[in-house]
Amino acid sequence: MPTHALTQQNFDQTIARGAIVLVDFWASWCGWCTRFAPIYEESASQHPEILHTTVDTEAEQALTAAAQITSLPTLLGFRDGLLVYTKLGFQTAAELEDAVQNIQWMDMDEVRRERGIQHAEPAATAGQVAPARGAGLAAGPARYGWPGLKLG
């Protein structure tokens, strides 16, 4: 799955509607950003269940300022609309994969408790059951097992 560009106009609704959304803040003049881009794109291909997005900091200066981005590249990870991961600087493919796995396995009930956030279940429409959200693996295939588990 390709990455998607975010703007100030679509940022909030994109974060709110995705179970897991990664946001890569980058600039064309940033050497580390250009090195990270193919790693990030490969992650998008490997994890189609996760929305991989990008913000061009030169074109989206107001959004970059609102997000308080001070270093490039910066990767933000959101789950269920909550910021759960921030990494400044370059990441290797293994580091990014580790971050993805940790975000997928987060106990979101615990995250909400720590932050004092009441969890509101989405309202069910007529004849439908509201989807369960909370602790455990995020939506998508469970391909890798528990974070930190080393096989072989």
pLDDT of residue 119: 59
Q: Give the pLDDT of residue 118.
A: 75
The arrangement of strands across the sheet holding 4-5 comes to: 4-5, 51-56, 20-26, 74-79, 82-88
Tell me the two tokens of residue 133.
């959200």
Which residue from 4, 41, 27, 5 is spatially nearest to 73, judged by alpha carbons? Answer: 27
Q: Which of 6, 27, 30, 67 is catalytic?
A: 30
pLDDT of residue 120: 56
Q: Which residues of the chain have pLDDT under 50?
A: 122-135, 141-152
Would you list the domain boundaries of the chain? 10-115
Q: Which of 21, 33, 67, 111 is catalytic?
A: 33
CATH second-level architecture of 10-115?
A: 3-Layer(aba) Sandwich (3.40)
The Cα–Cα gap between 9 and 28 comes to 21
**pLDDT score for 68:** 96
H-helix or E-strand spanning residue 97: helix 93-104
The residue with tokens 């295939």 is 141
Res 110: pLDDT: 94
How far separated are the first and last CA of the chain, in Å rounded?
A: 29
Instruction: Let me know if 30 is a catalytic residue.
Output: yes
Q: Is 51 a catalytic residue?
A: no
Task: Please state the pTM of the whole predicted model.
Answer: 0.78
